[in-house]
Structure 1
Amino acid sequence: MKQCLLLTLLLTVAFGAYSQQTDLDSAEVAIRKQSINDILAREKGKLHDSIIADYYIQLADYAVNDYDYNLAIRYCDSALLNKSKLSLDKRVDLIETKATYLRSSGKSGDGIKLLLEILKELESKKRFDLSAGLNRRVGTIFLKMNDLANAEYHLRASIRHAQKNKDRETEGYARMSLGNRFKKEDRFAEAEEQYKASIDIGKAIGNKRLLAGNYNNFGSLLRKQGEIDEARKYYLKAVEMNIASGNDKWLSYNYNNLGNLSDAENKYQEALNYFLQSIEIKDRLGDLGGKVQTLSNVADAYQNLGDFKKAYTYQKEYSTLKDSLDRLNNIAENKKLAAQFQSEKREARIRQLALQDKYNQDKIDNQKEQLSYQNTIAWILSIGIVLVFIIAVLLWRTTVNRKRINAQLVEKNAQIDRQHREILDSINYASRIQNSILPGNEHRKELLPDHAILFKPKDIISGDFYVCDSANEHIFFGTVDCTGHGVPGAMVSLVASSHINKTIHEYELTDPGEILTRLNDEIPNALNGSDESINDGMDMAMCVLDLGAMQMNFAGAYQNCWVLASTESLERRIFEDVNAVLHEGNDFGILELKGERRGIGRSTMNAPFSTQSIELAKGDVILLSSDGYPDQFGGPRNKKFKVRELRNLVLKQAGSSPVQIVNTLDTTLKEWMDKTDQIDDVCVFVVRV
């Protein structure tokens, strides 16, 4: 707790210092902008066009610092006003800068159009020294947009032009990006070919950063194919290259990848050591964004090692840092919106003043014509009238400005209130959307007349959800635990729900093992939409009932299935070819069907999930649960509830209805938590046959 409070205090102090520094820098920036404008006005017609362009780009950079992208784009247009007098290299730099600002302002299409136009000119003039690098950067943009066809086209063009210009470095980076493109579609052989070619180039030109990037990406490719030992070798090579080149930021990510490999092999102490090395570097670099996920990995490692106190400490630090970064991002976004609003207001004010100036000038001209025909007394009277008019205008403008400033303050406060309400409304609406994917009570009662569900999201929206459906004379029910909770978990849950529905109704799968295998193939492709690999997925338990034959098929990914029945009833049945453990107590027993120890979308194993089949008897109670219930901290020693305690609690409820079991679970969890915060979503599904 002390570490969390200290972290919050440091972030608060850092942000306050940043705000003060920004205020001080604002005065210096204002002086510099005025100095540049003075030079442009004073030396008009004397400066070389390239120098003028450099001054306008400086002004554009200052506008971007204030999030005023529209003003930055206008400065770029001013820099390109006499583009025919600029060198082609200079024009390419200016157009790339303008395209960047267009994309930042939400006009990605216009930015890409600009780049494609200048590319066409470069290729027509055979300026391969410029087109090679620009094609690579355009290909990378399309890759981030997941437009793989256009990304491949421009990356291959970059390779051809770099070869013509003998630019080995650009060719190496283009091949690495092309390998990333093929990796997105699991085209492993083609991706490997590009990475190896890029590695050969890196060795030939002695570019350690190029080698480090390729070793890391090739390691991820091998990991995706389940070649863990080979993946580790390449990650370690990436570590060696990043140490040699002093690239500490990517070195920290290499250690994180090595930690994930060790964790997947249950080498928890080794994984912890790598994660702690990654955090040490990120602390030194001030990389708070990268530190967030690694904190979660450290918490999981300590939990797997049985050190629940440290697991809880790091989990709290992760939540605190993540919430703090989210708040800082919201502040930056609000500042960007405010700058855009002020830019639009400023432009409207400029147009208004221009019209007012024209009106005043016309009026003064008319007065001068009349005054030329009047005598000295008329001149004196006219001057007096003009002075009175000027004073009146000044007073009027002062009043208008005061009212405008007051109105802006009122509007800004109202805007902040609206944003707050909109955020809450959006989250509540997202909750209604998420609830719409959950099966309704009447539908569940129709399929499973005697059942009950304990569903307690940690936040308004949840990363856990439950399944209850029917198809082809089979009844499907299960629990799903997606990575994370709140908004991130809910987003993953929408993707997962859609694909589960697809496997049941479109693919018409009735075997739970085949359903989980199909989800394991499709979920990673649905979530990975950029160069970076997203390590999101889900844990799941799926049961398929054939009530006519009194048979149940089960498959699990990091989740088990409990069948509660009398010991006598269980002993009469023969359970063959099932991975199960029997727990007995009070003349009743729980047959625990074991799910596989790997998740969906996060495992390096590509083997199919297996299905376990058992015979059911009337009165059997089936229970499925996510890890939210047993992982909840609480009690007098602030420890986890644990699976063993949950099993004992269910055994004590033997003979009770599903509703009574769920009510007992709910009451016990509340008493266990007391004043402790809920740390994860909770989902328990109980069915009596």
Structure 2
Amino acid sequence: YKAGLFCFEKNLNKKAIIYLKEAATLYGKDKDFKKVMKIYSNIGLIYSNLDEYDKSLLYFKQSLKIRKSIGNETDIASGLLDLAYILSVQQDYKNAILNILKALDMANKNQEPKLVLISYNMLAENYQKAGNMQKAAEYMDKFATYRQHYEKSQSKERVSEERIKSVAEISMKDAENRAKQLELELIRKNKEIAEDTLNRKIKAREDSLVIAEGKIALEQSKYEQAEKDRLLAESKSKAEKAQQRLIYAVGIAVITIILLVAFLLILNIRRRKRHNRQLQETNDEIEKQKRNIELKNNELTDAFNKIEEQNNDINASINYAVNIQSSMLPSQDSLQKLIPESFILFKPRDKVSGDFYWFKDTIVNPGKADQHKKIFVSAIDCTGHGIPGAFLSMLSYNLLDNIIEQKKVFKPGEILDELHDGVRKSLRQNESRNRDGMDMAICSYNPDNNILEFSGAKNPMIYIKDNKLHRVKGSIKPIGGILYDKNETLSFSTTTVEIDSPTTVYIFSDGYADQIGEQTGRKLMTRFFRNLLGDIHNKPLNEQRDILDMFLKKWQGNIEQVDDIVVIGFKLFPQ
């Protein structure tokens, strides 16, 4: 348990969770449920710091369950506030408020002023986030009033305690001061007597010491003079010997220097001759390399000219591919003719794109009693990008047209099944090593009966109705590509949504969420992208497209675009 708390203090969160879970198991075996309760609360707090709110909620609930079994209402109120905090982070304000109200009732009942203050503050915040400003203001007033009352009561208790303490301290200090004054006076008298006695003794000794010191000084002066005379004689003798040694040393040094200079001159002459010979050889080698470099430069110039010519041919081919893809894809304005409230944000990473959009309207069962119109909209993300992705996009586009127009398949899940088989057959993936494929989301809308149908190959659909965001996941199976045994017989399912009120729908590839930001160096991530769609869904669709485009540019900064991007949004109204 202590090891877990130590790791938590050092921000080693994952290790802390492992130690705390082991501690909870041991305390559980000993039936020490109060310790288990505290450990579960600490684990919930660590998971909330890691933004893993579902796991945090689970452990706070387990801690609350133990608190309720123990029956201490103060602990139960604290557990309810922990749970309400996580619910508030998950934007479940209704349940968060219910838990806080229960905690407030228990705090008032048990006279826990700190818990009452926390409850009032959390109620004000949650009502504000839920949009109920009247309730938020009411509880904020209660919070301010209660805090003022609580601080006054605490202040009165402290003042009373300080007054009692100050009277006692003053009496004690007076007594102590009087005792210290008497003690200091006694010490001063004793010191004066001792100093007088000591001065008399010192005076007597000083008289005798002066005579003795005079004698000693005379003898010392005689000894020092004799010592000086001896040292002077020794110094003269040493100086004479040193001078003789110096003369010998200088003579030897001069002879050595002359011999050394002569040797260095001979050595330098030989070195110069050798250096000049090497320099000539180096110049010859440089001249040879210069001729080789000129030949290489000529070869490189020819190669560069050929590469430039090939590059021009490739660019011409790519530009032609751009024209082909542009002519194949319908204009974005065409979607607004089918669904007036709609937009398409299409941003290829290169000149041609592996992501593309597809939409079509058709009459189902023409001439029959159940004749009705269907509008199909799809966002497709092919394997790779650039030229390879563009080839696959053209193949898929034609297969989709054929499935609707020739095979008369109109249910989104069945359309994906047919497209999956078509891609695998067209690329002979059962026979070859080709594993290209795509992820996609497709919607069909019947305006006659207000029914929207969806199916996805790994990609989801998001729709917002009555200001509530819904996410419909796609199948784990892609279109084409690698097949796994567990997915061999898996068919794509179709999800139905009734359009009984204005509904905004979004389908997209993963390029927007995967874009890396210049400031953070990290991906935008799907959760942030969902929140962004939730924030702008009430705005006009054309304005939404501009907001998404401007936000992406600001997020991306000077970082290169990492993938093709397609985002489709449209708003449906019940007919």
Length-normalised TM-score, structure 2:
0.43
Length-normalised TM-score, structure 1:
0.36
Structure number with greater Rg is 2
